[in-house]
Structure 1
Amino acid sequence: MSEQKRLFFGIELPRESRQSIIQWRAETFAAEAGRPVAAENLHLTLAFLGEISEERSLMLQHSAGRIRQPAFTLTLDDAGHWPRSGVVWLGPKRAPRGLLQLAELLRSQAARSGCPQSTLPFHPHVTLLRNASQPVALPPRNFSWPFRVSRFALYHSSYSQGRTRYSEVAHWPLEQP
């Protein structure tokens, strides 16, 4: 049996946006609000696959390579706190149709390939803080990070020496208009 890897499809944030968000987060949230997600790990998950074999990973990569969809602009201009999961997040007030379609395609392919998907509606977000179990004061909605999404990727999530790291396994372009 092949080694299982923890994988997910996602969108990487541009370097400039990540740096700006990290600075904003440090200025906005108190240190005790939660554990900050490392700058290099900021991303938007499209479909979580879980622990899967290399064979299943290759099958999903092949399916992802057949997706033909236009690039789109994503604006991170909303924030929230999910106390039950302890997550403080950043996301779009209105998700672009292209983002919702891409996530739905990937989640459907994953489910058909034996990777169960959440029954909850897709809520596009970037996790800013974890372990935020106490109420968190959310900032006024006067922030905005727009960026062009021209690709999506498959990531491997690994945990070692007390740190989670995400490494890109493969990526696919979105069609330019």
Structure 2
Amino acid sequence: MSEPSRVGPWDRVFFALWPDGALRRRLARLVDRVTDACGGRGIRVDRLHLTLVFVGEVERERVDFLRALAASVVAPRIELTLDVLGYWRHNLIAWVGPSVVPEGLILLVRALEERLSAEGYSFDRRPYVPHVTLARNARCREAQVLEEAIAWTAEEFVLARSVRGEEGASYEVVDRWPLGG
């Protein structure tokens, strides 16, 4: 079966929690530690995030509709504790995430998924495992230990797009919405 013809430009988009500068620096140190121990390709500091819903490719003209959809979401501020270092052997990804998923995070993801479904959007429907990817193509031989948990108070969520450039993909925040309503 051939791929459908594409009219106009497309964007690859996702909703995410976006760390602030201080949290980004802490995560970057963790990236360095994990890649020292497991090898692989560390995630660049400007790409660190926690995906809420990966939407995938959408026509660029539909991005404003996604912005309006997100603006209708009301969710509490999210207090996360990143206290688990994980490794998925099947795709060679090292990550950090919470051992306890806050209810507010579940509510936010569910609200976005429900609105996307109601509007006919397809998105990644695998069971939700909140995490920040630290390294790709990693080969962790033993469990990594997180010496100190990382507290994250998420006061907003974002819609981001993947932008291809000469040095690979980078992420660009399209819009932001406050949490705490």
| TM-score after normalising by structure 2 | 0.88
State the alpha-carbon separation in 1 of the partners of residues 35 and 46 from structure 2: 19
Q: Counterpart amino acid of 1:102?
A: L
State the alpha-carbon separation in 2 of the partners of residues 28 and 56 from structure 1: 38
Residue segments in structure 1 that go unaligned for 5+ positions in a row: none
Aligned residues: 175
1:143 maps to what in 2?
Answer: 148
DSSP 3-state at the match of 2:27: helix
State the alpha-carbon separation in 2 of the partners of residues 150 and 65 from structure 1: 14
CA drift of 1:71 comes to: 0.8
Residue segments in structure 2 that go unaligned for 5+ positions in a row: 1-6
Q: Counterpart amino acid of 2:127?
A: P
| TM-score after normalising by structure 1 | 0.90
The one of 81, 94, 100 equivalent to 1:75 is: 81
DSSP 3-state at the match of 1:159: strand
Conservation of the 8 A alpha-carbon contact between 1:12 and 1:44: yes
State the alpha-carbon separation in 2 of the partners of residues 94 and 12 from structure 1: 19
Q: Deviations over 1:19-46 (max 9, x none)?
A: 1222233234426621000011100000
Q: Deviations over 1:48-74 (max 9, x none)?
A: 111101333222211110111111211
Percent identity, aligned pairs only, is 30
DSSP 3-state at the match of 2:109: helix
Q: Counterpart amino acid of 2:113?
A: R
Conservation of the 8 A alpha-carbon contact between 1:34 and 1:131: yes
Conservation of the 8 A alpha-carbon contact between 2:15 and 2:52: yes
1:62 maps to what in 2?
Answer: 68
DSSP 3-state at the match of 1:30: helix
State the alpha-carbon separation in 2 of the partners of residues 170 and 22 from structure 1: 24
Instruction: Please provide the CA RMSD for this pair.
Output: 1.8
